[in-house]
Chain A
């Protein structure tokens, strides 16, 4: 590959974008208790049983919300609906 000005510009551009991508990742040393969507840990689904690794659902004032992992109690919207109709 011949080194041209375009190759140099592309490399610099790519490096800048990778730098931004690194900045948007979670700080591994952070002990923040805030919501983490990228966590791979599993959450208990509560009412319906089973586990979920992504975002689940929650019910607030009888409305179904899709919150971040920590506040998820139901694996699916239908599971949350089932909980609401049963209570």
Chain B
């Protein structure tokens, strides 16, 4: 799998899924809806929201926890793609920045220094999403070595 395919599979598609979860199933008090309104996309957003499943039918873990996990997964994947085959120590800072930001934000909610409510499911998604890209990319690299 080349960099372009990796970017589409591990960054763009997950981010589109996460974006649609926010647009379709979250309440409109989020900052992004103000941005959409400013861009004149209000009617388009309402159209999408009206033609999808009711928000109440979607489990909370999909609405609230999955997007957090997708954010960490995509950011870590991006760093893995950029820093692939690099031998510098700097790469470790970049590779860990997604998991560190995601997990610390969640733990910050637990001790009330970050706005929001701490949730165990969110933390599980954050941890899983931090580890999964490394497993995928390690497995993929080993598979490619085996093909040679």
A interface residues (Cβ-Cβ under 8 A, vs B): 1, 6-7, 9-10, 13-14, 17, 20-27, 30, 32, 34-40, 53-55, 66
Contacts and interface: CB of A to CB of B under 8 A. Distances in A.
Interface residues of B, number: 33
Given A20-B71, A24-B22, A13 B78 contact: yes
Interface in B75-111: 75, 78-79, 82-83, 86, 90-91, 94, 97-98
Given A10-B79, A17-B71, A24-B67, A39 B117 contact: yes
Interface of B: 15, 22, 27-35, 60, 64, 67, 71, 74-75, 78-79, 82-83, 86, 90-91, 94, 97-98, 112, 115-119
Contacts of B27: 32, 34-36
A40 B116 contact: yes
Given A10-B82, A23-B32, A27-B29, A17 B75 contact: yes
30 contacts: A6-B86, A6-B91, A7-B90, A10-B79, A13-B75, A14-B75, A17-B78, A20-B71, A23-B31, A23-B32, A24-B22, A24-B30, A24-B32, A24-B67, A25-B30, A26-B29, A27-B29, A27-B33, A27-B34, A30-B29, A34-B28, A36-B27, A36-B29, A37-B64, A37-B117, A40-B112, A40-B115, A40-B116, A40-B117, A66-B60
A26 B64 CA distance: 13
A66 B65 CA distance: 15
Contacts of B28: 32, 34
Nearest to A68: B27
Across the A-B interface, give the 4 residue pairs with the lowest CB-CB distance, nearest first.
A23-B32, A34-B27, A38-B116, A32-B29
A67 B78 CA distance: 35
A63 to B, nearest CB: 12
Contacts of A22: 31
A25 B64 CA distance: 12
Contacts of B91: 6
